[in-house]
Chains A and B, each alone.
Chain A
């Protein structure tokens, strides 16, 4: 990958990102396989940070591996597990190892994960982590102390276009921009009309928006998300489409739905790109790209 992510974002090209979930343990083979499979098919790869508060191999380790393999990592960083010293230190380490992109997240609550008795840190929130990134770039840490050598990052955050109520999330979206976010990955979207309305609101802010695409694997999964995942609403007609799939072909229909959405988003230029989350089914990302009429962005 010759271009860095920020250059791609500003190139006007429709941006494709995806993500890698690190292993629970030291067996890196499946993650390495996914990195090799995807690094030249998408513009950048997120590495999740103890997703859903489940302890895993760290996102920083995954991002370093992507770098070693010649891919472009986006380091996901949550505020759940580290205080401001540890977060800033990890940003310095990331920069020193060639990582230039960071996605700043508050992080899920500890109690949704697999270490329910742990202490949730939240010394900073996502906006304040963005401020920390920008402060380090100015050569000062959050304590106001001078740095000997400063990092530089393309910093992003997330936004939930389908949140209910929506306005509090939009206020936060604007604060994240004020704090220094240049790009946003959205929570999964399925209703393109709603998303178009969100984009009408978001476009004037001048930040890059990557629509979140979560692969639907069955109608049950869609209904589960509707019931349990904040800010995700799969419309009834998509659930029906999955239900009508011949036995054993629901996953294929899910891939077609994801591909179709990406295609529409790209053709209508509704946003600047997509972020594909296959959650445990990373090997299917090339098929989604194919269904979208994109057979890998190449380098």
Chain B
């Protein structure tokens, strides 16, 4: 399952974002941020303690099961009183959660986390980006390894000159995506795919902001 991978902002930045707000409600999420240990129950508890130490009154807190789900308003409904007495809600979820909750409350929604990427947990505490949702999938040419995501420069025509012993120019611990692609295509006897000159990437296929409307008849409704 893919996850939204996050990291906590510094306390200094959080306090600056909460400037002028004395009474605060804290919200965590039971899904991705629990897995990343950035916004689950222990982190919400820890944040409660830190904000109290910094003069905030915590009106309440909760860990919502799935913050980005539209049903989150039912959970929020149970917290109507403490929320109505708060001047701000500190949201310890990814940016999807912040925006979903932000639409449903009257008070300012303040993010406590930075959303890094959509990725997968490869091992305990090990998260990797797998897809940047570029809208123009090249995996069929690259042995199923994505250079748009896994090459630091997102190169389409092979490794740059910065690769060394199969590792990346920016991090000697990081595998060079194009060396991996080369090895896999070679093992599959498909190096001819790597030899194909890829033209400049089409960035228009993925309009910013992404938005697709599937016509009703195609939805089979």
**Number of A positions contacting B (CB below 8 A):** 34
Min CB gap B164→A, angstroms: 4
Residues of B within 8 A of A168 (CB): 158-159, 163, 178-179, 182, 194
Is there contact, CB below 8 Å, between A106 and B155? yes
Q: Residues of B contacting A187 with CB < 8 Å?
A: 161
Distance in angstroms from B162 CB to nearest chain A CB is: 5
* Chain A residue contacts of B153, Cβ below 8 A: 106, 109, 120, 122, 125
Given A108-B169, A178-B197, also A127-B154 (CB < 8 A): no
Establish whether residues A230 and B169, one from each chain, have CB atoms under 8 Å apart when the complex forms.
yes
With the chains together, A128 CA to B165 CA distance in Å? 25
A172 interface residue per 8 A CB criterion: yes
Query: B residues within 8 A CB of A122?
Result: 153-155
Q: Knowing A163-B161, A179-B197 touch, does A171 contact B182 (C-beta < 8 A)? A: yes
Report the contact-size class of chain B (Cβ under 8 Å from the partner): 20 to 34
Residues of A within 8 A of B178 (CB): 168
Q: What A residues does B191 contact at CB under 8 A?
A: 171
Chain A residue at minimal CB-CB distance from B156: A125
Q: Among A120, A123, A125, A230, which residue has its beta carbon within 8 angstroms of that of B157?
A: A125
Contacts of A126 in B (CB 8 A): 157, 160
Question: Which residues in B have their C-beta under 8 angstroms from that of A55?
Answer: none
Give the Cβ gap from A21 to chain B, nearest Cβ, in Å: 18
- What string of 1s and 0s marks CB contacts (under 8 Å) between A169-190 and chain B? 1011011001100000001000
Given contacts A106-B153, A125-B153, contact A163 B200 (CB under 8 A): no
CB interface residues, B 174-211, toward A, < 8 Å: 178-179, 182, 186, 191, 194-195, 197-201, 203
Instruction: State whether B165 touches A142 (Cβ < 8 A).
Output: no
Q: Is the CB of B158 within 8 A of A231?
A: no
Which B residues have a C-beta under 8 Å from some C-beta of A? 152-166, 169-170, 178-179, 182, 186, 191, 194-195, 197-201, 203
Please list 23 pairs of residues, one from A and one from B, whose beta carbons are closer than 8 Å in the complex, sorted by A's number: A84-B200, A109-B153, A109-B162, A109-B169, A112-B169, A120-B153, A122-B153, A125-B153, A125-B156, A127-B157, A127-B158, A128-B199, A128-B200, A164-B165, A167-B186, A168-B158, A169-B159, A169-B161, A171-B191, A172-B159, A175-B195, A179-B197, A230-B164
